[in-house]
Structure formats: structure tokens, C-alpha cells
Amino acid sequence: MRSVLLSTLLVVTSALSAQTTRVLFIGNSYVYTNDLPGKLTQLALSLGDTVITASSTPGGYTFQQHTTNATTQQLIDQGGWDFVALQEQSQIPSFPISQVQSDCFPFAAELVDSIRVHSPCAEPVFYMTWGRQNGDAGNCPNWPPVCTYEGMNELLRERYLQMAVDNSASCAPVGMAWKHTRDQQPAITLYNADESHPALAGTYLIACTFYATLFRQSPVGSTYTAGLDPATAALLQNIAASTVLDSLSTWNIGVNDPDASFATSSAGAVVSFNPGTAAGTHTWFFGDGTTDNSTVTSHTYGQSGVYDVMHILTDACGRVDTVITPVNVVISSVPETGASETAIAFGRPLMLQGNLYFTPDRAGRFDVWNLNGQQLVSAELGMVQTFRRWSDLPANAVLFWRFTGDDGMIDSGRLLAP
């Protein structure tokens, strides 16, 4: 029998939906050119989401400079941010790794640490920038990998992802959306005349990529075009959506989400449930009309069947994850064994005068649980090796046993302690 889920399931609303989302941008001219924060706000509004932004973006600024900038620190200290976008100076992450390790990575970590002190539930988002239109001519003679757009762009991708992983943060893959646009729609002008900063279409692509990253929803269908012709805007919306949403794990998006997955162990009618994450608020629906709010719990089912067990985990920041897993419950029809037995049955456990005896007919593992799912016995036994346990088992209790043979066959049943 497969149980039917409760008709009155909890309705889980995303923390990013139907509320105001506050985003702080820390960067430089790659943010303020064409007013990226304003375009993100208008794009989101057209899709039914409210975004409030603030920025600290002095021209050419580095992460290191931001760690001592009064405006940046004041905005971080203000707290209450849902997301903080972090953009390094446009060339530094593409430099030789030894230089990036000294001039970039430590200051990225310092900013993230400060953000988390003042906004514990904020998600830091590293803003992956793009290679210059024809490579970095100024640094090319001393560092050949940046001589081409492709070489510079790949280094930026690698280093921004490294910062995201190292800091348990997300990455907005703008640089990859940029590459896909260059490859698929070369007629769209992404760069302005300096071959570095974004043109209007470039900034619109960035806004679409950020929307998909922050909300994990597609910007496709937005009526806001930022002055671009609708056909071009639609192409950029689609590229941003496919770049982000087809590969969330690639960009480390969701790295801080709660995980409601759980493990189970069964002993007849009793199933124990052990979540992978203990922290947070837990709600269990056992699939038979009963619920529980414990962290680690067990449940006794009244009959055999397949039950869809739902576990809802809500973390301290209000983020929610839900997992539904079918659990197969097999209640053995083996008769209870009472104290009147006078012989030890081969391959069948017995309770005699409060003592437990078991002699298997093959090698394997012998387990016993009580009705609360507490494991009382776990023993590896060889063939015809007798297990004995004396006088410390609960009296007048129903116990569940299982023998898992090395041959893969499982025997199980109930024991009645005298």
C-alpha cells in the first residue's frame, strides 16, 4: 500500500519571493557604468520582485582598497543585506596565480568575513567579470595568457569560481554569459569603445544574469528592455537564463541552502529517521497522517506498506528545503516468541527468562531494536555461533529483530520479552 500525502501540506514560500530583497554592490566602474543596480531593480520589478540596492563603487577600486574604504565599511556595517555582490578590479583576477593569491584572495575573504558578521544571513555573490574585447594589451608582454579575450576570460572564470568556493559563496557567471553572447550573437555590441566597459547591451546582460543568480528564476519574458530593441533584449534574457539556471551547482549557487535529506533504518514496524543536518527546525510527515517536530525521530507504523515521508528543514535564516522519500515498511508476521519456549531455535532468536539467545544458520549481522527505534543489539556472527545477552533487556516489551546474512538474505520478526 502506497500512502497518499496529506492534502494539507505546508506551503513553503521562498525567502526570496513576495518580499523586498536588499542587494549591496561592492565594486567599481563595472557596476556604475550604465547604472547596473538601477537596471537590476527595474528588471526585477517587471517580473514582480522588489529589489532595493546600494553601492560602493569608486572607479578602478580593488578588494584591498574596499577593506579600508569608509563608505564600503559603513554599508557593510549597516547590515540587513540579502545579497552582497563583490567585483574585483577588472584585471587583477587574471594575473599570475601567485599575485592573485597575495593581492586578491585574502581581501575577498576579509570582505566576506565582515559581511557575515554584520549580515549573518546574507549571501556573498562574486561578480565574475569578462575578458577585454581583444585581450589585455597592457599586460600581454609580461603575461601571455591575457593576450587574447579567450585567455583572459578563462582566467577570470577560474579565479572568481575559486573565490566563491573558498568562501562558501555564490558566483554570478556574467563572464560566461558574455562569452555565450559573443559566440551565439556576435552582432550584439557588448563593449563600449574602450573595449573593456559594458555597452548598454552588456549592462542589460549583466542585470539579467544577476536576476537569474539571485532569484534562481528566469528573466525571460521581462517587459523591461532598458531601451534595447525587444528582440535583442529577449536574446540576452535567454542567454542569461540558460547560463545560470542550467548549471547552478557549477556556479556554487545554493551552497548555503539547508539540506533536508535524511537516512532511515528499519526494524519491523519501527522506522528511525536521521537528518543529515541537525541545526534548524524540522517537520516530519510520516505518510500515515501523523507528524513530528523532533530533530532525530522514529515512528511506529500500524501496517506494512510504502509511505511517502516528507521532511521539511528550515534554517536560522528562514531558508527552506523539502525532501520526500518513499519508505518501505515490512512488518513480519512471524509469531511472537514467549518465555514458554524451552529450546533455542536454529536461525530464530528466543527470549528465555529475560535472556536473549540467537544461533544463526549462516554468517551475518544480528540487530535488535525497541519500539522507540533504539538499537539494543548489533552483532556480527559466524554460522552456528550462538549469541547470548543476559538480563539487561526490557521486560514486558515488544522488540524487533533482523538478521542480515552475508548471502544478502534478510530475516526479521518480533520478540516478546517476558
Residue that the C-alpha cell 577570470 belongs to: 156
In a domain, 296, yes or no: yes
The yes-or-no verdict on residue 195 having pLDDT over 60 is yes
Number of alpha carbons in the 13 Å side-chain half-sphere of residue 99: 8
Q: Does residue 277 share a domain with residue 240?
A: no
Query: What is residue 228's DSSP assignment?
Result: S
Return the bridge partners of 411, or none.
403
Residue 134 has pLDDT above 80, yes or no: yes
Domain boundary among 219, 245, 271: 245
Domain boundary among 298, 329, 360: 329
Of the chain, the percentage scoring pLDDT greater than 90 comes to 69
State the total domains in the chain. Answer: 3
Percent of the chain with pLDDT over 70: 88
Taking alpha carbons only, the member of 413, 417, 405 closest to residue 360 is 405
Confidence of residue 342 (pLDDT cuts 50, 70, 90): very low
Domain that holds residue 24: 20-245
At 353, the pLDDT band (50, 70, 90 cuts) reads low
**In b/e form, how buried is each residue of 82-117, taking b as 16+ CB within 10 angstroms?**
bbbbbbbbbbbbbbeeeebeebbbebbeebbebbbe
Cβ atoms within 10 A of the Cβ of 176, count?
Answer: 25
DSSP helix/strand/coil, 170: strand
Q: According to the model, what pLDDT value does residue 336 have?
A: 43
pLDDT of residue 337 exceeding 50, the answer is no
Domain co-membership, 198 together with 105:
yes
Highest mean pLDDT among 72-76, 344-348, 399-403: 72-76
